[in-house]
């Protein structure tokens, strides 16, 4: 008996040591098992190494259809094509796999609806549901997938109207042919799509004007759809009565505008005669009346702004313009304001007039530029439109100060996303690369359009890159400052053009994206640190630990790092169009890699 016990203990120890530990979270494994239980795999579950049970690990034990990260810790892809699966697809369970990038169940017999919970797959980039029996409406929540690039829904029995995909900014492919969709086609960002088809459905109405990059085959089989490229042309209504009515309205509008112009001239002449100056303070107390007391004083002290306008000079208020219906510039100036930031070039205030829309006012100081030059500069900037450049709502210039007005962007800045609270927002490698490509293209566009006027951004940094409601990035405060050439020690003659400072600043933003480190001053210290580490051949040490942990492609991160270092090399400056082209090429390579790796 004494001999048997050591043998038993050794056997038990051997079994324990030889049993691989689970790497994926228990909750994720349980969710995956529930997900498969609601599908019916038929005889597949009897195949060797099928897995899909709570007693094994999806990564270590290589469950069928599962792919994990390079460390075999986290599930990244689920590819279950051509397995004769039936039953229902449980998005609530599968979306508990927090790192899931690819979900593919092409060519099975799955017959469920596409559930609202699909929006919980926040990091999903590729969704393939083609060749099944999915039915019912496509939920609006599918447009809330912030990272989705490829969406394949073809050859199903889906019905109803398509959701509005115009704000799904990263979408590259959309295929929904051979379904039963109805209604008008929603808007897509057709400029960005590289693949698209809604053929053989029951869409009606006109084909979107900007869908011209795709031929008629992408829209064929929709007899109620009309357009230039289709067999059915959209009818042109010619109604003499309506034409006459429109003409009457147009000329009436001219008369009204003329009367308003005369009234404005009279008001300006009257104001010019005033000798006394009045200070208009943006103070909550002006809105709330003459209330007094400690509580009122405490409440208003925070809302009180430090900028004011002196007497309205002739032509000085590029205003009394109407910002929104019923809201004049004077009303705007009387609204409560809150100081939200200070910088070397001025202060920022958050202002909310009575109409409920929140604005940001940029008060510029120490910029020696005349009113006429300021107005001409702003007019040129306002004329140039790009979806990734935040437009100026209004501006004001007097001898004392210059004010710029923008709509407030509640999702904050790139600086806050990288170094502050992310509020549950993911910012993985794919998102950062798409961000870099979008910003480079926007900056290259502005440089091209404003080249003859020599108007760069002049103060580009992560705190000046904001996120709209749909998390689409946009550059703010374009052209509000002269470029600080002296701060970068641009001694080379070739590097002294106005736009080189923007290229340098963009390089610093790229370094901030890649390293996750905040920038001090103009970013020269960060650039020097990265250069020194790369020179010592420890390149991987510069990358943000979050990117390394997710298993991002080190090769492509190194390529983007090289682009950034070229931007901050002041001896051989690049132009922004070349930078944008290099990053776009890298992004396309990343997209091709994701697509090919998702194939079974």
Instruction: Provide the token pair at 414.
Output: 């790139």
Longest dimension (CA), the chain: 116
Comparing C-alpha atoms, which of 317, 320, 332 is closest to residue 398? Answer: 317
Q: In what order do the strands lie in the sheet with 202-206?
A: 135-137, 157-160, 180-183, 202-206, 224-226
Between β-strands 202-206 and 224-226, what pairing exists: parallel, antiparallel or unpaired?
A: parallel
Helix 554-567 to helix 524-535 angle (10° resolution) is: 130
DSSP 389: B
DSSP 116: G
Element of type H or E holding 514? helix 500-515
Between β-strands 465-467 and 473-475, what pairing exists: parallel, antiparallel or unpaired?
A: antiparallel
Instruction: Give the integer Cα–Cα distance in Å for 166 and 143.
Output: 9
Is residue 362 part of an annotated ligand binding site? yes
With b for 16 or more beta-carbon neighbours within 10 A and e for fewer, the 366-384 pattern comes to eeeeeeeebbebbeebeeb
Comparing C-alpha atoms, which of 154, 64, 165, 173 is closest to residue 592? Answer: 173
Instruction: Provide the token pair at 448.
Output: 């091209």
Instruction: Give the integer Cα–Cα distance in Å for 590 and 124.
Output: 15
Is the sign of the CA dihedral 429, 431, 434, 438 positive or negative? negative
Instruction: Give the integer Cα–Cα distance in Å for 348 and 474.
Output: 17
Instruction: Give the integer Cα–Cα distance in Å for 502 and 576.
Output: 8
**Contact present, 335 and 353 (Cβ < 8 Å):** yes
**Contact present, 85 and 40 (Cβ < 8 Å):** yes
Number of other CB atoms surrounding residue 4 within 10 Å: 8
Element of type H or E holding 538? none
Q: Which residues contact 255 (CB under 8 A, 6 or more apart)?
A: none
Instruction: Give the integer Cα–Cα distance in Å for 447 and 407.
Output: 23
Instruction: Provide the token pair at 344.
Output: 């070397």
**Contact present, 485 and 496 (Cβ < 8 Å):** yes
Comparing C-alpha atoms, which of 89, 92, 127 is closest to residue 108? Answer: 89
**Contact present, 223 and 231 (Cβ < 8 Å):** no
Helical ranges in 38-158 per DSSP H: 91-94
Is the sign of the CA dihedral 320, 322, 325, 331 positive or negative? negative
**Contact present, 179 and 154 (Cβ < 8 Å):** yes
Q: Which residues are annotated as a binding site for ATP?
A: 362
Q: Which residues are annotated as a binding site?
A: 362
């Amino acid at each position: 008996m004494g001999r048997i016990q050591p043998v038993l203990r050794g056997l038990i120890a051997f079994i324990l040591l030889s049993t691989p530990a689970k790497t994926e979270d228990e909750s994720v494994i349980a969710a995956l098992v529930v997900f498969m239980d609601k599908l019916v795999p038929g005889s597949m579950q009897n195949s060797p190494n099928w897995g899909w049970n709570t007693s094994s690990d999806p990564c270590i034990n290589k469950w069928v259809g599962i792919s994990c990260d390079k460390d075999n810790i986290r599930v990244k892809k689920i590819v279950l094509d051509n397995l004769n699966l039936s039953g229902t697809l449980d998005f609530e369970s599968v979306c508990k796999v927090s790192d899931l990038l690819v979900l593919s169940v092409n060519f099975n017999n799955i017959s469920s609806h596409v559930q609202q919970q699909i929006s919980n797959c926040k990091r999903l980039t590729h969704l393939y549901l083609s060749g099944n029996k999915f039915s019912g409406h496509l939920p609006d929540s599918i447009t809330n997938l912030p990272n989705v690039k490829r969406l394949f829904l073809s050859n199903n029995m889906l019905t109803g109207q398509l959701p509005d995909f115009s704000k799904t900014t990263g979408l590259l492919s959309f295929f929904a042919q051979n379904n039963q969709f109805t209604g008008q086609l929603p808007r897509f960002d057709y400029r960005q799509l590289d693949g698209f088809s809604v053929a053989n459905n029951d869409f009606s109405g006109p084909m979107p004007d900007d869908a011209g990059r795709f031929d008629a085959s992408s829209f064929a089989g929709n007899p109620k759809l009309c357009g230039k490229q289709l067999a059915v042309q959209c009818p042109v209504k010619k109604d003499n009565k309506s034409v006459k009515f429109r003409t009457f309205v147009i000329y009436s509008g001219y008369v009204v505008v003329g009367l308003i112009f005369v009234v404005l001239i009279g008001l300006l002449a009257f104001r010019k005669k005033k000798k006394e100056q009045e200070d208009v303070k943006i103070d909550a107390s002006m809105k709330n009346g003459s209330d007094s007391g400690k509580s009122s004083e405490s409440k208003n002290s925070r809302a009180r702004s430090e900028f004011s306008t002196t007497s309205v000079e002739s032509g000085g208020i590029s205003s009394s313009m109407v910002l929104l219906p019923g809201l004049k510039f004077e009303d705007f100036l009387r609204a409560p304001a809150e100081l939200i930031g200070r910088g070397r070039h001025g202060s920022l205030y958050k202002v909310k007039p009575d109409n409920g829309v929140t604005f940001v006012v940029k008060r510029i100081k120490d910029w020696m530029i005349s009113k006429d030059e300021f107005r001409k500069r702003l007019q040129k900037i306002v004329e140039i439109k790009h979806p990734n450049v935040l437009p100026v709502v209004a501006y004001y210039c007097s001898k004392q100060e210059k004010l710029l007005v923008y709509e407030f962007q509640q999702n904050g800045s790139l600086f806050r996303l990288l170094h502050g609270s992310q509020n549950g927002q993911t910012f993985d490698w794919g998102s950062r690369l798409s961000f870099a490509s979008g910003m480079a293209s926007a900056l290259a566009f502005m440089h091209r359009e404003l080249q003859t006027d020599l108007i760069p951004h002049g103060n580009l940094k992560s705190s000046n890159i904001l996120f709209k409601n749909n998390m689409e990035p946009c550059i703010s405060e374009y052209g509000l400052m002269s470029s600080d050439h002296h701060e970068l020690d641009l001694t080379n003659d070739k590097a002294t053009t106005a736009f080189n400072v923007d290229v340098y600043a963009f390089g610093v933003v790229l370094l901030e994206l890649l390293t996750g480190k905040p920038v001090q001053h103009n970013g020269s210290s960060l650039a020097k640190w990265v250069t020194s580490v790369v020179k010592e051949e420890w390149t991987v040490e510069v990358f943000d630990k979050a990117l390394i942990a997710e298993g991002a492609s080190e090769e492509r991160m190194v390529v983007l790092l090289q682009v950034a270092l070229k931007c901050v090399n002041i001896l051989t400056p690049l132009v922004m169009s070349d930078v944008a082209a290099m990053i776009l090429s890298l992004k396309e390579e990343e997209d091709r890699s994701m697509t090919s790796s998702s194939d079974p």
